[in-house]
Amino acid sequence: MFRGVLRVGNSLVCAEASSGQSVLSQAFAPGVNITDAVALALGGVRHGSRHKTGGEDKKRQEFRYLRDYPVGPHQPLPPFKKYDGRMGEWKNYKNFVHYPEHGRYTTEKLDVTKMGGRDLPPSHGGTGRKVIGRVGGGSKQKSRWIDFRRWPKDRDQEGDGDLVERVISINYDPMRKPWIALTGYGNHMRWQIATSNMKAGDLLTTTTKIPPNPVRPVEGNGYPLGALPVGADICMVQWYPDSDEIKIFNSEEFVKIVRKVGDRVIIQRQDTKHQFSLDQRCMCVAGVVSVHPLKKIKIGTPQRNRWLGNAPRSGLWNRKTGHFGRKIRALPPVEEVKEPEPPKDKTLILHCETEGVVGMPNGRKRRFDVTKW
């Protein structure tokens, strides 16, 4: 026998049930279990079982996993994730390197702040919010300022001639997989990514001349793309002439020159077989990027994974869609890489002091920036 008070609409009704029957059976909609209603009235919750009972499969439909948090218009998105008509740009959410305030290049070790998958704090122009997951912890590290430009920006290509550098030492960098080389010329020293067979004492020659006949590449030397023959293995490729955008610098990574068309050179990635058409004046380095033996071994324990700064997975089961399937598709056409055009938008400076004042909302309790509406 159960006795209790049950709310029906806006009124309280006394209920009494015994053996699954109730005097209020007519007060409920058909299909409602009276025993469950009485249990709610007594303060308890009757949970459905995940097993089949009575020939019916009662599923727990009230539980919903909120996998993605609501994203506002000003919250950064993870890299290359599309949401609400915008796509997240690539940023480094793992660590923040403190470069010297004077802005001049240095070979000294730089301090690093681990962000754990968060955006930069508001003091540095960010939001400080969590953006990506599976990032956190790790051993303390120091950063080295890598100079990816083989031909220095302040060096004249015509009057200064070829650049000859000596490899002072080959060192280990905890923040990247390849070896790094400390090179020097004149009174300048800089860090560079080392190739697979580079050793201390080697002389590295960098030239910007494109001869009529291709030259035989020497590993570690820098050449324009137009100066190398078809079939040469290259790395650290400059994407635009005289630019700071350098690609193909990860461990054991290289591309191959497949053909030349006029003043364009076609290169092909070895992992995806994608081809790109670059200007023949773009600089590159002959050879394959090196790899440190400690960075090449397999991660065998969770402790080593945390030492590398990788947080464990959440354990949530994800359904594999067609994105995970194996599909055989035709390769995309050759992508012609051109310098980005300058923006065509123009900025108009309005000299009228009252321009735009009419129609602005009045301030209420606190000041509101209308430009961020």
Give the residue from 297, 313, 339 where a domain finishes.
297
In this structure, the answer to whether residues 114 and 71 fall within a common structural domain is yes
Q: In terms of domains, do 190 and 285 share one?
A: yes
254 with 181, same domain? yes
Q: Report yes or no on 1 lying in a domain.
A: yes
Residue 239 DSSP class: S
Segments forming the whole domain that contains residue 229 = 146-297
The domain total for the chain is 3
For 102: left if phi > 0, alpha if psi spans -120 to 50, otherwise beta; the answer is alpha
Residues 204, 112 share a domain: no
Between residues 366 and 261, the one the model is more confident about: 261
Q: Are 218 and 260 contained in the same domain?
A: yes
Are 20 and 40 in the same domain? yes
Whether 128 maps to a domain, the answer reads: yes
Shared domain for 3 and 47, answered yes or no, is yes
- 343 within domain boundaries: no
Q: What residues contact 35, with CB distance under 8 A and at least 6 apart?
A: 17, 20, 46
User: What does the pLDDT look like over 52-92, one tens digit per residue?
Assistant: 444 444 444 444 444 455 577 888 899 988 888 889 998 99
Tell me the per-residue pLDDT of 272-292, one tens digit each, with 9 for 90 and over: 999 999 999 999 999 999 999
**168-196: per-residue pLDDT in tens?**
999 999 999 999 999 999 999 999 999 99
Same domain (yes/no): 292, 165: yes
pTM: 0.71
- Same domain, yes or no: 177 and 211: yes
Considering the domain boundaries, does residue 303 fall inside one? no
Per the CB < 8 A criterion, the answer to whether 297 and 304 are in contact is: no
Whether residues 285 and 150 fall in one domain? yes
Percent of the chain at pLDDT > 70 equals 74
Contact 239, 245 (CB under 8 A): yes
Domain boundary among 98, 119, 144: 144
CA proximity to 214, closest of 286, 290, 288: 286
If asked whether residues 134 and 210 sit together in one domain, one would say: no
Residues 86 and 57 in one domain: no
